[in-house]
C-alpha cells in the first residue's frame, strides 16, 4: 500500500510536465477557435493520439498509479489548457471505464480499441446513461432492453440525453432497464456496435460552456444488438438480478446502491477537472493584477484585489488536497466513510465557479470580453456543479452518509 504523500515522484513530475506542455502548446492556442465553432476538435484529438495522450494505454497507466494521483494530475493539466477540448480528449474514457468495470476480458479486448481507433483514424465513444426524465433520479430510467431468446439479441428502445460524443461515436455504451420492478438495480449496460440500425443522433445541444465537446441526444428505435454485447454476459446478469430480487423481498432496499459507490469513487476526477479550470483563471488574474496599473501602481497593490487573489489560491489548493485525498483513498481501498469522493467534487466544483467569477471581476471590463480567456473559463466552470451529480446531489450524498441513511 502506497504511503500518502503530497510530493509527486520523478515519474509523475515528468508526466505532469509533458501534459502541461501539450496543454500549453496545442490545446490553449486552439481553445477560442473551437469554442466559437462549437464542434468536435478532431485535429487536436488526433495530435493527442499521435503523442500517446489519447489512448487507453495512457489512461490505464495513470489509473493504476499506486498513489492514486495519476488521474487527477492528468485531468488538472489537460483542463488547465481548456475544458471543452480536454473533455473531447477524455470523454471516450467514460465509455471505456464502463466496459472495463462491467465487461468480460473478451469484450474489453474487442471494443475498447474500436473506441479509440489510431493516430491515423481516431474514433470516439459515448456513454449513454442520462435521459430527459432520469438524470439524478436513475431509478426513473425508461430506456428498455428486451431479450429476444430466439435470435439471441437484445432490442433497445428509448432516448438518451447529455451524451458526450452521442451520435458521432464509433461505439456507444447504453444503460437500459431490463427489469423495471427492481428500479436502479434492474439496469444493465450494452455495447451498440458501429453502424447499428436504429441508433441515431437526436438534438445536438448548443451549450453555455465546454462548447468544443459534442453533447447530444441519442435515439434508440428497435436497436438490435447481439447477445454478446451485453456487458458481463447474460449468466452474470441473471445472477445479479436474482440477488437483487432476494434483497428486495427481504427489505434489501436499504442496501447501498453499488452504482452510487462507483460514482463516489469516480467523482474526484471531475473535481480535478474543476481544479484545472480554476487554476487557469487564477493564473490569468494574477498576471493581469501584476501588470495592470491604475492610479500609478499595479492593481495587486490594492487590498481589494490582493485579498481576492489570496482567497482564490487558498480555495484552489484546498480543493486539490480534497481531490488528492479522495483519489488516494479510492486507490488504496480505504472506505469513504464520510463521502470523501463527493466532498472533493462538491468543493472543487464550487471553487471553479467562484474563482472564475472572481477572475472576471479582477480583469474588470476586459474580463467580460472574449478577448481574454476568463470569460470562457467562467462559462466552462458552470458544468462542474451539474454533471456527475449536481452540487445538491453531492450534499445529499454527504449528509446521508454522515447520518447513516441509505443512498439510493
Task: Give the active site residues.
Answer: 388
Comparing C-alpha atoms, which of 234, 248, 242 is closest to residue 189? 234
- In 1-149, where do the E strands start and end? 117-118, 121-122, 125-128, 144-148
Q: Rounded CA gap, 9 and 294, in Å?
A: 43
Q: What is the DSSP letter of 4?
A: P
End-to-end CA distance of the chain: 31
Return the sign of the alpha-carbon dihedral for residues 386, 172, 23, 32.
Answer: negative
Comparing C-alpha atoms, which of 288, 392, 305, 287 is closest to residue 350? 392
In angstroms, the Cα distances linking 113 to 54, 126, 138 are 12, 14, 29
DSSP three-state, residue 121: strand
Q: Rounded CA gap, 125 and 102, in Å?
A: 16
| 117-118 vs 121-122, strand pairing mode | antiparallel
Q: Rounded CA gap, 260 and 257, in Å?
A: 5
User: Per the structure block, which three cell numbers stand in for 116?
Assistant: 479509440
Confirm if 82 and 113 have CB atoms less than 8 A apart.
Answer: no
DSSP three-state, residue 7: coil
Amino acid at each position: 500500500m502506497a504511503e500518502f504523500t503530497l510530493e509527486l515522484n520523478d515519474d509523475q513530475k515528468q508526466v505532469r510536465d509533458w501534459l502541461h506542455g501539450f496543454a500549453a502548446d496545442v490545446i490553449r492556442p486552439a481553445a477560442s477557435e473551437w469554442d466559437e465553432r462549437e464542434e468536435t476538435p478532431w485535429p487536436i484529438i488526433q495530435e493527442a493520439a499521435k503523442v500517446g495522450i489519447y489512448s487507453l494505454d495512457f489512461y490505464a497507466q495513470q489509473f493504476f498509479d499506486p498513489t492514486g494521483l495519476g488521474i487527477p494530475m492528468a485531468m488538472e493539466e489537460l483542463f488547465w489548457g481548456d475544458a471543452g477540448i480536454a473533455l473531447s480528449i477524455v470523454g471516450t474514457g467514460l465509455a471505456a471505464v464502463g466496459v472495463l468495470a462491467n465487461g468480460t476480458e473478451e469484450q474489453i479486448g474487442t471494443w475498447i480499441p474500436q473506441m479509440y481507433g489510431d493516430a491515423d483514424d481516431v474514433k470516439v465513444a459515448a456513454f449513454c446513461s442520462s435521459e430527459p426524465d432520469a438524470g439524478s433520479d436513475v431509478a426513473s430510467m425508461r430506456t428498455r432492453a428486451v431479450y429476444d431468446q430466439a435470435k439471441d439479441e437484445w432490442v433497445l428502445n428509448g432516448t438518451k440525453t447529455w451524451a458526450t460524443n452521442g451520435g458521432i461515436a464509433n461505439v456507444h455504451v447504453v444503460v437500459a432497464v431490463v427489469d423495471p420492478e427492481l428500479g436502479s438495480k434492474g439496469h444493465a449496460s450494452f455495447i451498440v456496435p458501429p453502424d447499428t440500425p436504429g441508433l441515431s443522433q437526436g438534438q445536438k445541444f448548443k451549450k453555455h460552456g465546454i462548447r468544443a465537446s459534442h453533447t447530444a441526444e441519442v435515439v434508440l428505435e428497435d436497436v438490435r444488438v447481439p447477445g454478446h454485447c451485453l456487458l458481463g454476459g447474460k449468466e452474470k446478469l441473471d445472477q445479479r438480478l436474482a440477488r437483487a430480487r432476494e434483497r428486495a423481498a427481504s427489505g434489501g432496499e436499504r442496501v447501498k446502491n453499488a452504482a452510487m459507490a462507483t460514482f463516489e469513487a469516480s467523482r474526484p476526477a471531475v473535481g480535478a477537472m474543476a481544479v484545472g479550470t480554476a487554476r487557469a483563471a487564477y493564473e490569468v488574474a494574477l498576471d493581469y493584477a501584476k501588470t495592470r496599473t491604475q492610479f500609478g501602481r499595479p492593481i495587486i497593490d490594492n487590498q481589494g484585489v490582493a485579498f481576492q487573489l489570496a482567497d482564490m489560491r487558498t480555495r484552489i489548493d484546498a480543493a486539490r488536497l480534497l481531490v488528492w485525498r479522495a483519489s488516494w483513498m479510492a486507490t488504496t481501498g480505504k472506505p469513504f466513510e464520510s463521502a470523501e469522493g463527493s466532498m472533493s467534487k462538491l468543493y472543487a466544483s464550487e471553487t471553479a465557479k467562484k474563482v472564475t467569477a472572481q477572475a472576471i471581476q479582477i480583469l474588470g471590463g476586459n474580463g467580460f470580453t472574449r478577448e481574454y480567456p476568463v470569460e470562457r473559463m467562467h462559462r466552462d466552470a458552470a458544468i462542474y456543479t451539474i454533471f456527475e451529480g449536481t452540487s445538491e446531489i453531492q450534499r445529499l450524498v454527504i449528509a446521508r452518509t454522515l447520518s447513516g441513511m441509505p443512498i439510493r
